[in-house]
Structure 1
Amino acid sequence: MLAAAGDGDARGAARALRDGADVEARDARRRTPLLLAAAADHVEVAELLLHVGADPDAVDDRSDTPWLVTGVTGSVAMGRLLLDAGADLTLRNRFGGLSPIPASERGHVAYVRWVTTTDVDLDHVNDLGWTALLEAVVLGDGGRRHRAVVQALLDAGADPMIRDRQGRTALELAEARGLTAMAAVLRRG
């Protein structure tokens, strides 16, 4: 079951289920078949697993859940599927963050635009002291994708005045990094 889910083999996963495989089986890192499918963006396998009752909130040994990894992969299709299955948007990853934070860091524009339409807290501060907006500035490259992420967050009402642990706003961080185009986006709001 685990191998089929991780490989995106929907037929193999269905066969394993028919043969009595546990939909909540765990690998050595405590990942379930659904988490493996989500991490590899195998939507068809995830649909099957959710249909037979897979837990969309199963947590692995790194505090990842299927929903949280959609922020890493940037998969809107998987995110929608898991949201429809009742995924808990308040669960936190190993850094204390919610899915928009890694999505913003990675410049997943389509995902950030979509996730801003959900009930997820866009102003959530992770254990590093960063919101999605701050992370896009601190860990992003300042390029087109990260500027689009920042604009999407601002358009959705993310608070640009939240400060990091050193007391700096996203604008101050962009200016300090020499990200002039990013700073311009933040000034315009």
Structure 2
Amino acid sequence: MQSAFEAARNGDADFLKTWLEKGLPPNLQNTRGDTLLMLAAYHSHTEAVRTLLDHGGDPDILNDQGQTPLMGAAFRGDQATAELLVERGAGLDVAAPGGRTALMMAAMFNRMDMLNWLLELGADPNMRDAGGASAADAARVMGAAQTAARLDAVMAARGEDATAD
């Protein structure tokens, strides 16, 4: 099975397709809870992601760190993979046990295009992590001034406060 995880990590869509058609479980997880889909998404292999989704890969399975494939794509700023995941049913506001979302990941790592796209799709900037921090708060902690300012502006336009209480 290790070769399947390597194929996902390396973006070998043909290998994955062959083995999925032979019965490889599309939601197979490694010892860290990463699914094949998580590895392909995190490493920006859109075609491997497509293959896994075509064969029943679940875009909302959390790994042991509480991350989804969409969070991985948001962290990387990989728009093509993120779009495919959302198109195939990935939840915008699926939260890790600690409360982190894809929007928070985009904010924390100053992925402005990703952040704007997630906001346009309706990602909720009001969500808070387990510590009460918003996406704007998380961005500020990470020194991501652009995304923090953008989220502050979005919240101000709504008449809301983006900072933790």
TM-score tier by shorter-chain length is 0.7 to 0.9
**1:79 maps to what in 2?**
82
Picking from 146, 150, 153, the partner of 1:152 is 150
In structure 1, the gaps of 5 or more residues are 168-189
Task: From 72, 79, 90, give the equivalent of 1:69.
Answer: 72
Pairing of 1:1-189 with structure 2 (within 5 A): 1-140=4-143, 146-147=145-146, 149-154=147-152, 157-159=154-156, 161-164=161-164, 167=165
Q: Please, which runs of 5 or more residues in structure 2 have no aligned partner? A: none
In the alignment, is the contact (CA less than 8 A) between 1:133 and 1:158 conserved in 2? no
Q: CA deviation at 1:46?
A: 0.3
Of the two, which has the highest radius of gyration?
1
**Structure 1: how far apart are the matches of 2:104 and 2:85?**
18
Identity %: 26
Contact 1:37 1:43 survives alignment (8 Å): yes
CA distance in 2, matches of 1:131, 1:2: 33
- With normalisation by structure 2, the TM-score equals 0.86
Kindly state the Cα deviation for residue 45 of structure 1 after the two structures are TM-superposed: 0.3
CA contact under 8 A between 2:75 and 2:109: conserved in structure 1?
Answer: yes
Letter in 2 for 1:19: K
Output the CA distance in 1 between the equivalents of 2:17 and 2:111. 31
TM-score, structure 1 as length reference: 0.76
Supply the RMSD in Å over aligned alpha carbons.
1.9
Counterpart amino acid of residue 17 in structure 2: A
- Could you tell me how far apart the structure 2 residues matched to 1:39 and 1:78 are? 9
Q: Is the 8 A contact 1:116 1:153 kept in 2?
A: no
Count the aligned residue pairs.
Answer: 159
Paired with 1:17 and 1:78, the residues of 2 have a C-alpha distance of: 20
CA–CA distance in 2 between the matches of 1:31 and 1:163?
A: 32
Q: Is the 8 A contact 2:37 2:69 kept in 1?
A: yes
Return the alpha-carbon distance in structure 2 between the equivalents of residues 114 and 137 of structure 1: 20
